[in-house]
Amino acid sequence: MNRSSGHELRWPRLIRTPSDAARFVDHVGFCVLFPLKNVPLPSLYYAVSKRADPRWDKYAQLIWKWKDELPNKRRTFYAKYFKSHGSFLSVKLLPHFLAMHGTAVEPDEAEAFYKTGRISYDALELWQALEKHGALATLELRNACKLETQAGNQRFKKAMLQLQGLLIVTHSGTAQETEAWASNRFDLVARAFPRQVRQARRISEEDARTAIAMKYRTLYPSASPVQIARLFGWTKAQAVTALAL
């Protein structure tokens, strides 16, 4: 893989199908949907379009469909993860990310996370609604948690970002709830990716960080421990250990 300008990585193959996109995600291990300023990660948009300045063009429309289709078929993991923006993780590396966060959990563990302060009360409500009802579209989930108002929508978004950032909830396709844009559907990672959750329980946090750091170093060989720590939310000491420096 050749390096392009900025943080993007030039994928030498054409990406025109969902399978092509899944192969790209599998190769890089993790990426964002669209380029993020000052966030050193590859983006699927650039890999498809070869354009460094994202716009709503035919390529954006293409990958916008794939971010629904690929996780729905369990070809990739997708959630608002890196910097609370749309992100892909390869299914192969997902167990390491779960182990890193300590979130290889069962659907019924929401109360324990809330009692230890890891999630907010609104996040607890969303988690328990998904546990009870299964995958739900946005409006269904908001209604189930009595978050239908404008203020409730803001609370919903904040709680959903928290759950996605911990890799407890994943994007699981769409549902046409209104005549406007299709709504996102959400599911618990424990239910959507049970095999990866089981695998994560056999991985220590330290080994998980090592695997993720080494993968990142294959993409960006000159990345410093400080840069890696900042991206993944680690301490500098954790990054240094992960890189075996």
Give the span between the Cα atoms of 145 and 124, in whole angstroms. 10
Return the pLDDT at 4. Answer: 47
Is the pTM value of this prediction over 0.85? Answer: yes
Give pLDDT tens digits for 153-167: 999 999 999 999 999
What percent of the chain is modeled with pLDDT above 70? 96
Give 32's pLDDT tier (boundaries 50, 70, 90): very high
Return the pLDDT at 178. Answer: 67
* For residue 48, pLDDT beyond 80: yes
Beta bridge partners of 174: 184
- Backbone φ, ψ for residue 91 (5° rounding): -60, -30
* For residue 216, pLDDT beyond 70: yes
Return the pLDDT at 151. Answer: 95
Buried b (16+ CB within 10 A) or exposed e, 106-143: ebeebeebbeeebbbebbbbbbbbbbeeebbbbebbbe
CB 204 within 8 A of CB 212: no
* For residue 245, pLDDT beyond 70: no
* For residue 106, pLDDT beyond 90: yes
* For residue 2, pLDDT beyond 50: no
Buried b (16+ CB within 10 A) or exposed e, 161-170: bbbbbbbbbb
Return the pLDDT at 179. Answer: 63
Give pLDDT tens digits for 51-81: 988 999 999 999 999 999 999 899 999 999 9
Give the torsion sign (CA, 47, 14, 171, 89): negative
Give pLDDT tens digits for 164-213: 999 999 998 777 766 667 778 999 999 999 999 999 999 999 999 999 99
Give the torsion sign (CA, 227, 231, 235, 239): negative
Give pLDDT tens digits for 217-237: 999 999 999 999 999 999 999
Q: How far is CA 131 from CA 41, 136, 192, 230, in A?
A: 32, 10, 12, 32
Give the span between the Cα atoms of 100 and 98, in whole angstroms. 5
Return the pLDDT at 177. Answer: 64
Return the pLDDT at 7. Answer: 82
